[in-house]
Structure 1
Amino acid sequence: MTRPSRGRLARYGFAEGDGRARAADLLGPDGLGLWRPDTQEPADERAAELLSALSRAADPDLALRQLHRLVEAERRTADQPPVLDALAADPGLRRRLVAVLGASAALGDHLVANPAQWTVLATDPDGLAPAADGRLDLVVAARLTPATDAVPVLRQAYRLALLRIAAADLTGGCGLEQTMTALSGLADVTLAAAYELAVDELPKGTPRPRLAVVAMGKCGGEELNYVSDVDVIFVAASDDDLPAATLVATRLIHICGLVAWPVDAALRPEGNRGPLVRTLASHLAYYRRWARTWEFQALLKARPAAGDLDLAREWMGALAPLVWTAAERPEAVEDVRAMRRKIIDNIPPKELEREIKRGPGGLRDIEFAVQLLQLVHGRGDESLRAPGTIPALRALVAGGYVGRADGEALLSGYRFLRGVEHRLQLQGLRRTHTVPTEPAALRWLAAALSYQATPGRNAVEEFRAEWVAHATEVRRLHAKLLYRPLLESVARVPAEGLRLTPEAARHRLEILGFADPAGALRHLQALTGGVSRTAAIQRTLLPVLLSEFADAPEPDRGLLNYRQVSEKLGSTPWYLRLLRDTGPVARRLARVLSSSRYAADLLAREPEALRLLAEDVELTPRGRSVLCEGFTAAAARHADPVEAIRAVRALRRRELVRLACADVLSRAGSLAPAPGLADVTVVGTALSDVADATLAAALRTARAVRPAPPGLRFAVIGMGRLGGYESNYLSDADVLFVYDPPPGGDERAAGAAAHAIAEELRRLLSAPAPDPPLGVDADLRPEGRQGPLVRSLAAYAQYYLRWSKVWEAQALLRARFVCGDADLGAEFEAVIDPVRYPAGGLTREQVVEIRRIKARVETERLPRGADPATHTKLGRGGLADVEWAVQLLQLQHADRLPELRGTRTLDALAAARDADLVEPDDAAAMAVGWTLAAQVRNALMLIRGRAGDQLPRHGVELAGVVRLLGRDDPGEFLDDYLRTGRRSRAAMERVLDAPA
């Protein structure tokens, strides 16, 4: 053959160089006679059609060599090989036979050894392809098999059926699922035939035993591949059946090994150490007492296959209650996860990334995720009890347990990986799950999977790209589903609690402690009624959420809050998906909604903020500079002041959601705490930072609305709890407004402009809006409400020099710059420092005045009917007691001890202790008293959703505070609070009564 003729063969896909020369020889006159070297064309039209078919084979060279061998084998028995005529006359046969010859060297070798068997791939007289349903045709096999022994006939029948299945698979006559079903059906009939042969070989006079062969693993799930062990369990009806049943089972294993594949009974109780056959009663005893989680996981795929099918069904029915309660074991979920990790650990490192079955992102990742979800959710949903991976995954998607996109990605990954596995195994009919590394083998695999070159990438690169994409996605979804925190929570719910029928739900609501089961049931029916996907997902979530609500003092309120949030967001695509799939969101939301009216009200106004519950980092307080920059930028994006302040208040609302939710979750202790928020001082600082940012953005907007003379400086000074970084959830912003007129400017006009700015700031923040208002309170200014709202720096200096009283100096101890002109703020602090840190401390008369005012505050400001022992602000040992003691020490000594010059109560108390101004035990008692009172006060606000300082001595609010603070016994907690308050009060009195 000349070089040009070999070049013309290139278009048919034959290998270059020596390979193409070999193809030319096999096709030429001395070979198959399909190629004319003189014209460098196919010999005739029939030859052209066959060459075209060969070019479409996974490996054209392999297909050609096998076809040539087949023809040569026929020539030994016939002058004119019938296969070539048949290929020319039957396009279906041509397509099927060439596909098999080019994809499977093993099946090609089989056909060469049995040259008459290609006829099973011929199109029948009605024009139909040969059946590829996995049935055994023993009549045809007997005709084609010279032996009279039944085992060779059965072997031939198996190979013929496998040949038909492979041909249909390779030519698109069967899809992946049909192929797996056909292979599993072929295993069933092979087991059944071997069973009958084994029974026939029993010693004469031996009664036929009642023996069931139960398919397990891939065969049980009807997802068998081309080369695999067939996993089975043997079940005998009674002890009397055991001897004969064991003989049959042993012989069946031997026959199947000769005919097709090894039969593996290692999934039986005790594995290979246990008896090959057990009675139904013995199986029950074992699974009830000894079985481990993986053994119940394996039973998910159990299916009657051969022998006594009624007995197999009886066995499955008896074990089903055990299978569908296995997930309730405390260790069950972790057992499944640990087994998956163990499988990966046992893969040789060099094969880890090439293993499409056991490796990361492989078939086992999909199967384990699906099976764990089945074990957990299948207890209450019988639609999930399908033995096959694909039907089970579809049921999980239909039931709302897996998202549609996630489910489709897993299905796509499963089909891809199974397809690769089928092609790898079909090539040599050997058990393999490892993608080859050799270039030629990879090219063959890509061609067998129908990959083609694209611009910039060859077929192998196309295959690798898709393989990496599927493996990455499968690995991600495996981790997402297998390690979904909701699984443990669902597993802890008893099976009957998962079935939310009206009767079962009412009974469970009563058990869980709902005060109004009928009302709660109406909420459940509203959330779960109908056949929508939303209702299906709610039916998955609610059993877990009900358990969380039940831990709260008011379960009914938690459920009501959840319904309100769900009704606002139920049609939003991400909402239920977030609860089902994303970390601990569902349990966190339940905890928040059942613990805090304040947080529940915020979420009702800002429901999209529940995304913050997905990650701990989202529950971390933002720093002051970050908040100020973000709030001010949001205001700057709007020219309209109403829109600007609306944007600012929306950001504030979101930050309050963040802090309230983080605070609830940190205090509760049963969930991973948000970083840092277990400390009440961190909460106070975070809330003050939010107020600072809000005031800064509002001031910017107010100045834009109320233009001021050029050069006018304006600043906002924080006072009270805002100044001390001790804000609570419902605190007003206590402030002073200070301005400085431009040099040489009109002071009256500057004062009017500054007053307009202050009024506009207060107006903007008090406008009606769907968020808690930030009241701006300037009553601590000189002369209180009777004095001007805004003063110049000089006016403040003059007032404090001439008119200020000791209580005003005390109030100034918490003054700090908040926003506006920072230089003016520093100048203001310099003006007030001599007032709040008086030289030489206080006179005796001033100390007496402070004591008198303190006594008056206790008498006049404690609300009527309030209990002074449990009032967090003005009660004995509460916030005010400690703050007055600390502030007295600051007024007396901060002039000579700069470390006392701080606005935070606890910092100043610690400095006073370190300076030996207060006994360490007294300092500790006051610190504990102040901290506990602040914690209780914040907890009360979170629970009630409104301001309140009175800790009740009984009832749901006390129980709520106790739960929120991570304590157990309300009575014990109340005793501790009273004891702490008494010690704090005594320490305060020793400080206030000390000689001046």
Structure 2
Amino acid sequence: MSPTDRRTARTELIRLGFRDLDATRAGLESLGGHAAPITAILGRTADPDAALAGLLELSDRVEDRDAFLAEVAEDEGTAMRLLCVLGASAALTGHLHRHPHHWRELTDPWLGSTRPAAYWLREDLLVAVGADPAAPEPVATLPDGDAVDALRVEYRRLLLRLAARDLAHHMGVDDVAAELSDLAAATLEAALAIARARIGPDAHVVRLAVIAMGKCGGHELNYVSDVDVVFVHEPAPGVADDVAARVATQLASHLMRICSEPTAAGTIWPVDANLRPEGTQGPLTRTLASHRAYYERWAKTWEFQALLKARPVAGDRALGDAYRKMVEPMIWAAVGRDGFVEDVQAMRRRVLAHLPAQEAERQLKLGSGGLRDVEFAVQLLQMVHGRADESIRDGATLSALAHLTRAGYVGRDDGAALHTAYAFLRRLEHRIQLFQLRRTHVVPDDDDALRRLGRSLGHRRDPAVELEKEWRDHRALVRRMHEKLFYRPLLSAVSRLPGEGIVLSPEAAKARLAALGYADPAAAMRHLAALTSGVRRSAAIQRTLLPVMLEWFADAPDPDAGLFGFRRISEALGASHWYLRLLRDEGEVAERMARLLATSRFATDLLEREPQGVRLLGESLHPLGSDAVTAEMLATAHRQSSAVESVRAIRAIRRRELLRIAAGELVAETDVVAVGAGLSSLTDATLEATLAVVMEAVAASQGFDGPPTRMAIVAMGRYGGFELSYGSDADVMFVHDPLPGASTQQASSYAQAVALEVRRLLAMPGSDPALDVDADLRPEGRQGPLVRTLDSYAAYYAKWSQVWEFQALLRADAVVGDRGLREQFVALINPLRFPAEGITDDDVFEVRRLKARVDTERLPRGADPYTHLKLGRGGLADVEWTVQLLQLQHAGRHPILQTSRTLDALRAAAELELLPADDAQALILAWRLVSRIRNAVTLVRGRPGDAVPSDSRERAAVAAILGYGPGESGGTGDMLNDYLRTTRRARSVVDRVFWG
């Protein structure tokens, strides 16, 4: 061969897909005159190199090599079937090498056009184990080991024929899955025949039916998959129940082992009975009556969802049919159960939660946009609408999707697109599993495997890249299709626009909304109609937005509130050109808004008061510092014409920043400490700007050229501890110090007027939330003057104050007003709250007495002491009083304890070994969790609350804000258990440290 001819031959081999050209040339030369027709067909296989190597190995194992090669070369159909198998499946190649005469199975000219009937497969496998297919209860007659091996070999022979049809004749993926399911059913029947032989005559004392579940039950099995089953039995006439149960259990156990255990002849697949009532904790097989009792009383939603695919496949057919008829009405009634939607969603989340992180991006089945997404969507639609429409009750996903489309529950275009995507994903899954006949759903990431898979699915130019792109596109389509399946038909049902079609009747639309978690479907329909009806541009954009918005609402604790709030805000901003465009173009803004509206009454109220706040959701949601907010407030206030207008402008900025902080906690997971600090800083800024405005206004109204006294505001309580929550008042004390030349009376009158006006303007009714400035912690409480001079404070504390007032000063932080006066006030109180030698034993006793009185008298009547957030066992008061007692005792000697912040003080106590590290951590965890729940209660209700909610929807919303995924009880069970465990540990520390 000339160099030119060699280059041409090399180029042709590369074009055909060969990689190892030296081995290929040597292999083709060994084929002699048969090489030419075989080479062309090799180029159409998934892996030409593997196909050629497999062919050469097989040719060495058949009886007549030349006759074998001649027949393959002369019959294109035989060559195509054989070489496609050799190029795509190393496992079936190995089977052919072990059983070389099986290659003749692929010479059948009718193989590509004839699918074997289920009854034929059953008979074939029963005959293979020596059983009579016509017998009512077939029994294997071959010796046990021979029968088990014969079953494996015959199973692989039939699988070889199926794989050849699939690869060479492009069978539909649903036909492949159905034939695999029929083959599995026949295998179970043959295994049961072997099991009867093992048990002997006693096998006939019981009737046993095998119910296929999952993919086998749905007639959509993979090449390699666990076969999920449920066993049901009935005693033969005159046989005791316990005897029948024992024999039935033996039969079922043997059947499972026969299919699952490896032998010298290989393996088949595992049989999994974990979908039975009570799972692994329940009996392996039950009577019909026992099944009925369980499903009527104990079964969970997911069990009825699993029963969608239940199908009798082996054993006593009449008993299997009776089982199916018994469970079918229960399946379609399950949608009416309390918590149906939450259970279905929780099941999907559990799948994702247990998905190994290293597999998530390559998972074909369980990952986002994978097979399970399609299957869950189809099954949920079936359960919602199948109660009234029997036409959609089909166990196979693709068949069910076709029925749902035909019946109008899924749009035609959507149904076709989802069919295409799901069929591709299943074909890819089949090709992955076929290679080694191993159960896997992970798309490989190595180039050789991707190249083989891509070629097996028809890609030739750059198979790996083209396959990745096609998979990525189909996965994205599946992710998008969920919202279209559930929500776009709802819009068509209410908008009634020409060309969009009404795919759901109003009744069907309401049923779907109810099943998706909307408590008032009729109201939801009215909101949808108001938002989407008409031909105006905003309605058209809403029809684009709402499908995904509705899904986000349904995934949140209160979908009805979410949709209603969205309607109100949309109507308020309907004429704003930026609003709908922002939601349409900025997906994160729309998602944040949906979650906020469907979770938080507090945040929704803020948005409804000023819908322009929607813009904020596209910004950073981290709390701003007080300096920046103060500067903005003062700049805005100075542009106003009066003190009232100035403070109104200040409060508007405060409202916006409240929304930022609330949204940050709801959707951006702002830490509870950062939330408390943010709310405290915002209060600092509000008081600072308001104080400046009011001091100027009062000075002018009283005829002063400027303020006659310096003023400061001292933060107290949780405000002083930088730990405000959404519903907290601003506990403060006012202090002033007359300037030289001003009379004491004038200064005091002025300071009193300023303090009163600050409180009045911030508490005035209006569109922005009020800030209640509470000065009741001042000396003498409400009976004392609202404002004191620095000297007056010094005189009072020197003569009259008690230990509880020193304790209150632990949280004092002079934060607003004249800096020099603030520093002087802190210098005044530090020796009082941080006594150099600590407090006396009598003082410790007094602190404990006061705490006991608080515990006894202030807990609201009827409140549960275990779930009251502030005054309950292990709650905020317990933690804070404990750390404050330690500060009173030791802070005078240890400056790091001299802080107004609870968590900083706890960490300092642990560092000083005043508190064991574990005890400090227990108190920190309790304080953080209780504070988070307290914030969440306010966010959910729109008003403060100091108890874990008893209302189930409110409690579920609180759990959702804290990050508890919905389970059987909407996540509330886990939250409550964590709360009780955490506060119990904290209380044990309080008992030892505080009470001594």
TM-score by length of 1: 0.53
Q: Are 2:85 and 1:250 aligned?
A: no
State how far apart, in whole Å, the 1-side matches of 2:767 and 2:561 are: 22
Q: Do the aligned partners of residues 360 and 16 (structure 1) sit closer, same or farther apart at CA in structure 2, a change above 3 Å counting?
A: closer
- For 2:361, the equivalent position in structure 1 comes to 353
Q: CA deviation at 1:919?
A: 8.9
| Post-superposition CA distance 1:900-953 (Å, at most 9, x none) | xxxxxxxxxxx9999557596798678756439999xxxxxxxxxxxxxxxxxx
Q: Do the aligned partners of residues 543 and 673 (structure 1) sit closer, same or farther apart at CA in structure 2, a change above 3 Å counting?
A: farther
Alignment of 1:104-503 (within 5 A): 104-124=89-109, 129=113, 131=115, 135-136=120-121, 150-199=147-196, 202-204=199-201, 207=204, 209-237=206-234, 239=241, 241-257=244-260, 260-326=268-334, 332-375=340-383, 378=386, 382-395=390-403, 410-453=418-461, 458-474=462-478
Residue from 82, 90, 96 that aligns with 2:75: 90
| Post-superposition CA distance 1:114-139 (Å, at most 9, x none) | 23222222244x79745466652866
State how far apart, in whole Å, the 2-side matches of 1:253 and 1:103 are: 29
The aligned amino acid for 1:306 is A
| Post-superposition CA distance 1:218-239 (Å, at most 9, x none) | 2122221111221111112354
The aligned amino acid for 1:115 is P
The aligned amino acid for 2:85 is V
Structure 2: which 5+ residue stretches go unaligned?
131-140, 236-240, 616-638, 650-692, 709-733, 735-746, 771-939, 945-996
Q: Do the aligned partners of residues 390 and 921 (structure 1) sit closer, same or farther apart at CA in structure 2, a change above 3 Å counting?
A: farther
Q: Are 2:548 and 1:581 aligned?
A: yes
- For 2:510, the equivalent position in structure 1 comes to 542
Q: Are 2:48 and 1:60 aligned?
A: yes
The aligned amino acid for 1:676 is L
State how far apart, in whole Å, the 2-side matches of 1:402 and 1:913 are: 75
Q: Are 2:20 and 1:32 aligned?
A: no
Alignment of 1:652-691 (within 5 A): 673-674=603-604, 676-677=606-607
* Contact 2:493-2:502 at 8 Å conserved across structures: no
State how far apart, in whole Å, the 1-side matches of 2:566 and 2:171 are: 58
Q: Do the aligned partners of residues 567 and 719 (structure 1) sit closer, same or farther apart at CA in structure 2, a change above 3 Å counting?
A: farther
* Contact 1:268-1:276 at 8 Å conserved across structures: yes
The aligned amino acid for 1:178 is D
Q: CA deviation at 1:379?
A: 5.0
The aligned amino acid for 1:120 is E
- For 2:84, the equivalent position in structure 1 comes to 99
Q: Do the aligned partners of residues 59 and 595 (structure 1) sit closer, same or farther apart at CA in structure 2, a change above 3 Å counting?
A: closer
* Contact 1:589-1:613 at 8 Å conserved across structures: no
Q: Do the aligned partners of residues 7 and 197 (structure 1) sit closer, same or farther apart at CA in structure 2, a change above 3 Å counting?
A: same
| Post-superposition CA distance 1:959-986 (Å, at most 9, x none) | xxxxx99899xxxxxxxxxxxxxxxxxx
State how far apart, in whole Å, the 1-side matches of 2:440 and 2:92 are: 16
The aligned amino acid for 1:358 is L
Structure 1: which 5+ residue stretches go unaligned?
34-42, 491-497, 499-522, 622-657, 688-715, 727-836, 838-884, 900-910, 936-963, 969-996
| Post-superposition CA distance 1:844-865 (Å, at most 9, x none) | xxxxxxxxxxxxxxxxxxxxxx
| Post-superposition CA distance 1:774-824 (Å, at most 9, x none) | xxxxxxxxxxxxxxxxxxxxxxxxxxxxxxxxxxxxxxxxxxxxxxxxxxx
Q: CA deviation at 1:106?
A: 2.0
Q: CA deviation at 1:723?
A: 11
Q: CA deviation at 1:202?
A: 4.6
- Report the 3-state secondary structure (helix = DSSP H, G, I; strand = E; otherwise coil) of the residue aligned with 1:237: strand
- Report the 3-state secondary structure (helix = DSSP H, G, I; strand = E; otherwise coil) of the residue aligned with 2:276: coil
* Contact 2:366-2:373 at 8 Å conserved across structures: yes
- Report the 3-state secondary structure (helix = DSSP H, G, I; strand = E; otherwise coil) of the residue aligned with 2:223: coil
The aligned amino acid for 2:31 is L
Alignment of 1:602-641 (within 5 A): none
| Post-superposition CA distance 1:144-168 (Å, at most 9, x none) | 9998955455434322321121111
State how far apart, in whole Å, the 1-side matches of 2:18 and 2:590 are: 66
Q: CA deviation at 1:724?
A: 10
The aligned amino acid for 1:108 is T
- Report the 3-state secondary structure (helix = DSSP H, G, I; strand = E; otherwise coil) of the residue aligned with 1:536: coil
* Contact 2:162-2:176 at 8 Å conserved across structures: yes
State how far apart, in whole Å, the 2-side matches of 1:360 and 1:928 are: 49
State how far apart, in whole Å, the 2-side matches of 1:89 and 1:472 are: 45
Q: Do the aligned partners of residues 324 and 923 (structure 1) sit closer, same or farther apart at CA in structure 2, a change above 3 Å counting?
A: farther
Q: CA deviation at 1:309?
A: 3.2
Q: CA deviation at 1:313?
A: 3.5
* Contact 1:549-1:558 at 8 Å conserved across structures: no
- Report the 3-state secondary structure (helix = DSSP H, G, I; strand = E; otherwise coil) of the residue aligned with 2:211: strand
State how far apart, in whole Å, the 1-side matches of 2:112 and 2:512 are: 55
Q: Do the aligned partners of residues 310 and 550 (structure 1) sit closer, same or farther apart at CA in structure 2, a change above 3 Å counting?
A: closer
* Contact 1:214-1:306 at 8 Å conserved across structures: yes
State how far apart, in whole Å, the 2-side matches of 1:17 and 1:610 are: 55
* Contact 1:214-1:232 at 8 Å conserved across structures: yes
Q: Do the aligned partners of residues 672 and 48 (structure 1) sit closer, same or farther apart at CA in structure 2, a change above 3 Å counting?
A: farther
* Contact 2:207-2:233 at 8 Å conserved across structures: yes
Q: Do the aligned partners of residues 547 and 717 (structure 1) sit closer, same or farther apart at CA in structure 2, a change above 3 Å counting?
A: farther
Report the aligned-residue RMSD.
Answer: 5.9
Q: Are 2:9 and 1:8 aligned?
A: yes
Aligned residues: 648
Q: Percent identity?
A: 37
The aligned amino acid for 1:11 is E
- For 2:916, the equivalent position in structure 1 comes to none
| Post-superposition CA distance 1:470-529 (Å, at most 9, x none) | 345545666x689x9x89xx9xxxxxxx9xxxxxxxxxxxxxxxxxxxxxxxx9999899
State how far apart, in whole Å, the 1-side matches of 2:613 and 2:42 are: 77
* Contact 1:592-1:599 at 8 Å conserved across structures: no
Greater shift in the superposed pair: 180-189 or 356-365: 356-365
Q: Do the aligned partners of residues 82 and 243 (structure 1) sit closer, same or farther apart at CA in structure 2, a change above 3 Å counting?
A: farther
Q: Do the aligned partners of residues 150 and 539 (structure 1) sit closer, same or farther apart at CA in structure 2, a change above 3 Å counting?
A: same
Residue from 46, 51, 65 that aligns with 2:39: 51
- Report the 3-state secondary structure (helix = DSSP H, G, I; strand = E; otherwise coil) of the residue aligned with 2:428: helix
Q: CA deviation at 1:425?
A: 1.6
| Bigger Cα Rg | 1
| Post-superposition CA distance 1:439-480 (Å, at most 9, x none) | 333332332232222xxxx322222233334345545666x6
- Report the 3-state secondary structure (helix = DSSP H, G, I; strand = E; otherwise coil) of the residue aligned with 1:234: strand
TM-score by length of 2: 0.53
Q: CA deviation at 1:301?
A: 2.5
| Post-superposition CA distance 1:856-875 (Å, at most 9, x none) | xxxxxxxxxxxxxxxxxxxx
* Contact 2:115-2:179 at 8 Å conserved across structures: no
- For 1:848, the equivalent position in structure 2 comes to none
The aligned amino acid for 1:459 is P
* Contact 2:572-2:611 at 8 Å conserved across structures: no
- Report the 3-state secondary structure (helix = DSSP H, G, I; strand = E; otherwise coil) of the residue aligned with 2:201: coil
Q: Do the aligned partners of residues 387 and 886 (structure 1) sit closer, same or farther apart at CA in structure 2, a change above 3 Å counting?
A: farther
State how far apart, in whole Å, the 1-side matches of 2:425 and 2:518 are: 45
Residue from 519, 522, 534 that aligns with 1:568: 534
- Report the 3-state secondary structure (helix = DSSP H, G, I; strand = E; otherwise coil) of the residue aligned with 1:210: strand
* Contact 2:17-2:43 at 8 Å conserved across structures: no
Q: Do the aligned partners of residues 226 and 932 (structure 1) sit closer, same or farther apart at CA in structure 2, a change above 3 Å counting?
A: closer
State how far apart, in whole Å, the 1-side matches of 2:231 and 2:60 are: 46
Greater shift in the superposed pair: 217-226 or 393-402: 393-402
Q: Do the aligned partners of residues 207 and 539 (structure 1) sit closer, same or farther apart at CA in structure 2, a change above 3 Å counting?
A: same
State how far apart, in whole Å, the 1-side matches of 2:517 and 2:47 are: 63
State how far apart, in whole Å, the 2-side matches of 1:443 and 1:526 are: 48
- Report the 3-state secondary structure (helix = DSSP H, G, I; strand = E; otherwise coil) of the residue aligned with 2:210: strand
Q: CA deviation at 1:48?
A: 2.2
State how far apart, in whole Å, the 2-side matches of 1:542 and 1:226 are: 40
